Amino acid sequence: MSVTPLLDVRGVTKHYGRHIGCKDVGFKLYPGEVMGIVGESGSGKTTLLNCLAGHQAADAGQVIFDTRVEGPRDTLLMSEPERRMLGRTDWAFVHQHARDGLRMGVSAGGNVGERLMAVGARHYGDIREQALDWLERVEIDGARVDDRPTTFSGGMQQRLQIARNLVTGPRLVFMDEPTGGLDVSVQARLLDLLRGLVRGMGLSAIVVTHDLAVVRLLADRLMVMKDGHVVETGLTDQVLDDPQHAYTQLLVSSVLQV
Amino acid sequence: MIEVSNISKSFTLHNQGGATINVLEGCSFTVAAGECVALTGMSGAGKSTVMRMLYGNYLADAGRIEVAALNLVEAEPREILALRKGTLGYVSQFLRVVPRVSTLDVVAEPLLVNGVAEDEARDRAAQMLARLNLPQALWDLSPTTFSGGEQQRVNVARGFVYDYPALLLDEPTASLDGQNREVVLSLIEDAKSRGAAIVGIFHDDGARARVCDREIDVTSFSVGRAA
């Protein structure tokens, strides 16, 4: 299969002084694939995600994205305006804490509409209509469109953040612990929603989490990190059911059965 | 359709003193289109291990596992995913689904991912659930709270709703009553007659005798038990 990878990551490395954030990470992500990155706190998974998404500067490596117009380009070498444009169009970033990804002083509809306006939408009626459509898709009552996210529950805020991110039809979504900090029942709803959206829109996604149940249901492939290094990769169910590395075995066997 | 040559499998338990359990060695067999082959052998012989390797769920240490000309031992994750999507079905004993998704949608999914239109996919899923006598009142509910026999039928429905050219069946008649066992056996016969290559584990002797053309005794590949 000679398909161009959507994202081709090579040798991404980030140090914090003498401490390793992540070291020599490489992988290819193909269109429509969802990759999970698991590991405990401090394993470097969030550092890696931030380097990939351009939120942190990597010390070395390449993050080659298959752009719509110019084909594969190393995003680490892009100018700041180019990268910002990418972040508003083809890329989306779902933060663990919804308030990091939302504008808390702006209405729900405004939060969704703002991203549309950033890519040039100007017609108020259209923007409002699309915002309402997206609120419905993420199961937020349209009657709340003019309310601020500060009046929303944690689960609703997270769903609003997802709507804000997906409204522009991105091709690649970065997610940092998207279900972290939510009640288990709310997590299931969010997972179901995310899975439906990812499948329906043919999105590619990179999901960082420490929750193995989340990756089992959401991710096609898995990357396991420890101390900044990738220790194991493979098909999600294979890595979870037949883990090869000592650390992965420990991780899998440490999950409490319910 | 399925060609297994000389595979071996061991498990190394790094967190239990690095103990290594050798399970299989020199395991080879083939399954042709339209054929149903039973894996036999006592508990612990490695039947499930072979099944899981055939699905790409377990890695083989060495050898080749070809399903529809793809060697699973060397394949990339996305190639295995593509194989599972359109070519290789699996009826396991466990149902793993996202809570909240209705039974009808769970069963329609294999059709949807293969490009069948939504209405038709739901119609076919409904027909399959009706054939397996799953009460219609359950179709809109998530199968997570179903009884063992009901979940088993949802699993079977998912495996047979799409015409996979190759099918793996892990005790497909377990926990089913006589009537539904009969339905499952007829589904297997239908799949064989349309040319599916099937590998199964059947503890039900009668079922095995009826649908299987051959038996492969996994014990003959078991390490330390063969001699």
For the entire predicted model, the pTM comes to 0.91
Which secondary-structure segment (H or E) carries A234?
strand A229-235
Task: Note whether B15 contacts A221, CB cutoff 8 Å.
Answer: no
- Whole-angstrom CA distances from A242 to A85, A182, A233, B11, B41 are 41, 29, 12, 8, 22
Which residues in B lie closer than 8 A to residue A249 (C-beta atoms)? 13-15
Tokens of B144: 């997570």
Who's near A106: CB < 8 A, 6+ residues apart? A114, A148
| pLDDT tens column, B140-171 | 999 988 998 999 999 999 999 999 999 999 99
In the block, residue with structure tokens 């699973």:
B72
CB B159 within 8 A of CB B2: no
Q: B14 to chain A: nearest residue by CA?
A: A246
pLDDT value at residue B227: 40
Six-digit token pair at A150? 């500060």
Contacts of B205 (CB under 8 A, 6+ apart): none
User: Which of A191, A221, A242 comes nearest B59 by C-beta?
Assistant: A242
Residue A24's Cβ-side half-sphere holds a number of Cα atoms within 13 Å equal to 2
C-beta atoms of B57 and A189 within 8 A: no
Q: Identity (one letter) of the amino acid at B71?
A: N
The answer, yes or no, to whether residue B116 has pLDDT greater than 90, is yes
A5: DSSP letter: P
Inter-chain residue contact A188 with B57, CB threshold 8 Å: no
**List of domains in chain B:** 33-48+76-215 (3.40.50.300)
CA separation for the pair A84, A86 (Å, rounded): 5
Can you spell out the DSSP letters for B64-89? EEEETTEETTT--HHHHHHHHHHTEE
Strand order in the sheet with A71-74: A19-29, A7-16, A60-67, A71-74
What ipTM does the predicted assembly reach? Answer: 0.91
Would you state the structure tokens that stand for residue A33, as one six-digit string? 């694939």
| Residue where the block lists tokens 């990878």 | A5
Closest by CA to B129, choosing from B111, B156, B149, is B156
Q: Tell me the average confidence (pLDDT) per consecutive run of 10 residues in chain A, 258 residues long.
A: 87 95 95 93 93 95 94 94 90 93 94 90 91 91 95 92 91 91 75 80 90 88 96 96 95 77
Interface contacts A/B by beta carbons within 8 Å: 56
CA dist A240 and A66 (Å) reads 30
Beta strands in A52-151 (DSSP E): 60-67, 71-74, 91-94
Q: What percent of chain B has pLDDT over 90?
A: 85
Record: contact B78-A30, CB cut-off 8 A: yes
Residue type, A104: M
Asked whether residue B226 carries a pLDDT value surpassing 50, the answer given is no
Please tell me the distance from the alpha carbon of residue B67 to that of residue B4, in angstroms, as a whole number.
Answer: 9
Cβ-based neighbours of B148, under 8 Å, separated by 6 or more: B175
pLDDT at residue A2, as a whole number: 66
- Please give the structure tokens belonging to residue B169: 């069946």
Shortest distance, CA A235 to any CA of chain B (angstroms): 5
Interface membership of A192 toward B (CB under 8 Å): yes
Confidence of residue B175 (pLDDT cuts 50, 70, 90): confident
The 10s digit of each residue's pLDDT in A68-102 is 989 999 999 999 999 988 988 899 999 999 999 99
